[in-house]
Structure 1
């Protein structure tokens, strides 16, 4: 959910919400909502010292896994290690981290001043001209460091053409997955990272509450989204994006493009989040607008609420990530849903990893054997969907501590108090 990446929520609400936010009367609504909130102090961004410590740890892991070096191209992991926030294009900008010694940044010549401005760790910037092969720069550096006889690790989201072209420069050199380094580090959040995620979560739930208090008959999903975005921005969050799903659309986890105007008795599902200094939140709430919920709505809401508690109880240090999903699915099956991923029931995983990205490894999903450890962060969102009728999703994120899981935001107590 970074500002530089396409996010699933923007598919259904982003473009229309931006347009609505600039038109009347939605602009007046957004302005009014923004005036109702008070900005709060934010934790500081990740320091250069923490990024340097990450690099040192990466090199330890490279040596422990007999890897010669690691290439990380533009994206969250480049930011994680260097502070450089850059987009992906056909032109390579990335960091090459050797098992020993100082890393280098490879970037086009004309981008060097911009990269130098952002770089927060000691690293030489090596540039290439438009008629050069940037992977030759990488290969030459690896030869200088005498590591071409060992495997070279690629961050798992690096694009294919980079490996293909490096292999042409270094025939016989093995290119392998860098998960033993990057994933091992990014899955475990530091105290500073957790503080930023807590701030993002606090902003998102406050924005939801503010928008909820301003709901009126006739509002569109775009209106509601614009109100949340306005509150989020006023509170200090960035990159806000929200799904607003009403009635039958709430049974589709990522929604529908069909327009709908808010009416009394509508069931509304909001799923959103924001970023604080590059760290994400992800929260969902489901409620009935301006009318007492029906018995079926109340029943399903209560079951999802119970599902969240079952998931949290299963999230114990040393348990497999998949066992959390298993526990929820077992309960849902006993209540007549599914089985497995069938509908009506829970058609998606119980949760996903979260940190610098709204979705990142690993997931709370069947078959995931990764063991839960302190510092890991996940969403907890075991929704129940009844096709053609409605769906309920409650989503709160938690992080693992030595004594077990801890919420970033606490689930609401009931459908009658849906925002807590």
Structure 2
């Protein structure tokens, strides 16, 4: 199907909340106008979709701290060190900028979190603290590492084990280790990932909302394609559509032969008739991410385009269907998708399908755990992944189909419904 607007709306089933003026998407000359000429999408017609969003409750965060403490005891960890970032937000609903000065929290295996910050930041940090109440401060000439050592000594005695969150900057870890050299230090993934991998119903709802919004932004975006559009033009429309729908989001794209680069090319590109368009992006709702890729053709898809796209779609379906079975691991899904693509003539192994099948998703766009060879983690309720097989033919074009899913009570559930066909990007 050619991407003219009438055919596109029929295929995309654009929601009643979205009403746009005529914006050409086909290769026909009369529909290839630059939006600067007055043919812009009318974002004012989009409705904010976030009125029913429910933030993560205080009670749920308290339960996260409790689970982390249970995992700490199970893994022989006496305290967990966090600096501002996703995990600190996840457990403590605490967010602060990073600088050369330590601002951190220590969650002990027993007791309430304790915070560390410069003395001059104490009042500001105090405003942000929601769990626990103790803040230990250091003056500019003093050592924050000595404060951390003091917390460890208070909670574990003269020796013990501290878990360091994976994204903690090295100079902080190194300073603590030198100051408190009698303690052991381990990567805290069994605690942090042990909590964050398994999403609660409240988290699933936020991820679902983010995906719903991004799909609506995609519909507007694909209905706004025009000859000569740049990648910057593409991103700007996506950003404005997300904003009108109530979210902060971005979708990038590559055109033509540059779609064979899985994460795109730095080459400046302008859309032309017959180009494959590979778009990828999402938005954030209450800290939770969407991540959706769509591959279409600007104009008429060739038999070659359809052949390659259909194979990627078959691989995506194979992985999803396998996830319905018992005792399936993360690497099994990757193998199932890769087998389809190899048997379709695009092998061996990573030659054309050059990346893993998928990544975990939640508060980080990429987080634990990955659908990749060597990861024998069993699928379990609450896990969330992207399912994104791709085929990339350098010098020709590439395709990727990506929708995220979660493992529910009865198996996998998609957050966004996969595309039925290359010329029908939305179910």
| From 303, 308, 312, the counterpart of 1:304 | 312
Structure-1 residue corresponding to 2:122: 112
How far apart are residue 103 of structure 1 and its match? 1.1
Alpha-carbon contact 1:33-1:210 (below 8 Å) kept: no
Matches within 5 A, 1:337-376: 337-342=346-351, 345-376=352-383
Residue 314 of structure 1 pairs with residue 300 of structure 2: no
Structure 2 residue runs without a partner (length 5+):
1-33
Structure-1 residue corresponding to 2:8: none
Structure-2 residue corresponding to 1:11: none
Distance in 1 (alpha carbons) for counterparts of 2:327 and 2:167: 27
TM-score (norm 1): 0.89
What SS class does the counterpart of residue 284 from structure 2 fall into?
strand
Matches within 5 A, 1:42-57: 42-57=52-67
In structure 2, relative to structure 1, the CA distance for the partners of 1:99 and 1:279 (3 Å cut) is same
How far apart are residue 89 of structure 1 and its match? 2.4
Dislocated runs of 4+, deviation >4 Å: 24-30
Aligned residue-pair number: 392
In structure 2, relative to structure 1, the CA distance for the partners of 1:182 and 1:102 (3 Å cut) is same
**CA RMSD across the alignment:** 1.8
| From 403, 406, 410, the counterpart of 2:410 | 403
Matches within 5 A, 1:250-269: 250-269=259-278
Deviations, residues 310-352 of structure 1 (Å, cap 9, x unaligned): 111222453211111111111211111121111xx20001000
How far apart are residue 307 of structure 1 and its match? 1.1
In structure 2, relative to structure 1, the CA distance for the partners of 1:180 and 1:215 (3 Å cut) is same
What SS class does the counterpart of residue 301 from structure 1 fall into?
helix
Distance in 2 (alpha carbons) for counterparts of 1:402 and 1:277: 24
In structure 2, relative to structure 1, the CA distance for the partners of 1:50 and 1:25 (3 Å cut) is same
In structure 2, relative to structure 1, the CA distance for the partners of 1:317 and 1:223 (3 Å cut) is farther
What SS class does the counterpart of residue 61 from structure 2 fall into?
helix
Structure-1 residue corresponding to 2:258: 249
Distance in 2 (alpha carbons) for counterparts of 1:369 and 1:100: 32
How far apart are residue 417 of structure 1 and its match? 1.0
Structure-1 residue corresponding to 2:183: 173
Residue 285 of structure 1 pairs with residue 271 of structure 2: no
In structure 2, relative to structure 1, the CA distance for the partners of 1:162 and 1:27 (3 Å cut) is farther
Alpha-carbon contact 1:68-1:148 (below 8 Å) kept: no
Residue 214 of structure 1 pairs with residue 224 of structure 2: yes
Distance in 2 (alpha carbons) for counterparts of 1:189 and 1:318: 19
Alpha-carbon contact 2:261-2:394 (below 8 Å) kept: yes
Distance in 1 (alpha carbons) for counterparts of 2:38 and 2:136: 49
Alpha-carbon contact 2:242-2:250 (below 8 Å) kept: no
Structure-2 residue corresponding to 1:12: none
Deviations, residues 116-151 of structure 1 (Å, cap 9, x unaligned): 333322232222222221111111111112344221
What SS class does the counterpart of residue 176 from structure 1 fall into?
strand
- Shifted more, 242-251 versus 161-170: the winner is 161-170
How far apart are residue 246 of structure 1 and its match? 0.2
